[in-house]
Amino acid sequence: MTVKTMAEFMAEGKQPEILFWVGSAGSYDDRAKKITKAFVKLLNEANIDFAVLGTEESCTGDAAKRAGNEFLFQMQAVTNIEVLNAYEIKKIVTACPHSFNTLKNEYPSLGGNYEVLHHTQYLQQLIKEGRFKITNNSFKGKRITFHDPCYLGRANEVFEAPRELLKELGVNLVEMRRSKRTALCCGAGGAQMFKEPEKGDKDVNVLRTEDALQTNPDIIATGCPYCNTMMTDGVKFKEKEADIEVLDVAELLANGK
């Protein structure tokens, strides 16, 4: 896979079209790495000049901020902003809604002003511009339900981009009872991903998986590595992993190529 770093671009005296912000999950989590690779595959197929920060990328600070550690968040954010501004970055694309939301809405007040896109928005843009084409497809006619990530959907009003990409695949898109503005959280947001749930009679991810199972899907699609983990765990809890796959939109597009 051809993935160049910003440092390599700078050494050549060139600027990439976009910076791909990989995010912590996409860098370290074995399952999320597959989403990263799928998106890189799509970028390469579309001949996009893109770079990553590599070892210069640090956590956006989302988890620290949501957990109430504003001091740590600002330390992480300012370090990232210094790197991004030094490279004169203008446009960032990320497959993680947590990074998307933080870079887009919280970095500007600290001096980091960039055009930030979720990977589904960017891929939709490329299709509209005729720079990327979905040709054959192995998912045609499959029943797919899309789970809206909180930081993509309700927090940033991005509902249509992922759905339009799924429709391009010729799938049978079935909506959950709670979707778009009324979608239910998978249970990982707000740094809840990194702690055990409080006492109760049901985990949130199991409740959300039940919403998805009511649509009788072949595949649960999502656009966030955290949601992917939570929905996968929910499917395992329901002992449905033999029948139902949980895949990121980028994976669906890459597999369909």
Write the pLDDT tens digit of every residue in 65-81. 999 999 999 999 999 99
State the pLDDT at residue 256.
62
Could you give the C-alpha distances from 126 to 38, 39, 46, 69, 88, in angstroms and in order? 16, 13, 8, 38, 23
Q: Give the pLDDT mean for 5-11.
A: 97
Quick check: 228 pLDDT over 60?
yes
Write the pLDDT tens digit of every residue in 79-91. 999 999 999 999 9
Write the pLDDT tens digit of every residue in 84-140. 999 999 999 999 999 999 999 999 999 999 999 999 999 999 999 999 998 757 899
State the pLDDT at residue 182.
97
State the pLDDT at residue 197.
81
State the pLDDT at residue 57.
98
Q: Classify residue 215 by its DSSP letter.
A: T
State the pLDDT at residue 136.
58
Q: Which residue in 191, 124, 131, 129 sits closest to 158, CA to CA?
A: 124
Tokens of 233: 């765990």
Quick check: 257 pLDDT over 60?
no
pTM, entire model: 0.95
State the pLDDT at residue 139.
93
Quick check: 196 pLDDT over 90?
no
Share of the chain above pLDDT 70, in %: 99
Which amino acid, residue 247? L
Decide which of 193 and 151 is more confident. Answer: 151
State the pLDDT at residue 247.
97
Q: In what order do the strands lie in the sheet with 4-5?
A: 4-5, 50-52, 18-21, 91-94, 115-118
Quick check: 156 pLDDT over 70?
yes
Q: Give the pLDDT mean for 178-202.
A: 89
- Look over the chain and give the mean of its residue pLDDT values, rounded to a whole number: 95
State the pLDDT at residue 89.
98
Contacts of 208-212 with C-beta under 8 Å, sequence gap 24+, read 208/147, 208/184, 208/234, 209/234, 209/235, 209/237, 209/238, 210/234, 210/238, 211/176, 211/177, 211/178, 211/184, 212/145, 212/147, 212/176
State the pLDDT at residue 59.
97
Residue 39 CB burial class (10 angstroms; 0-12, 13-18, ≥19): buried
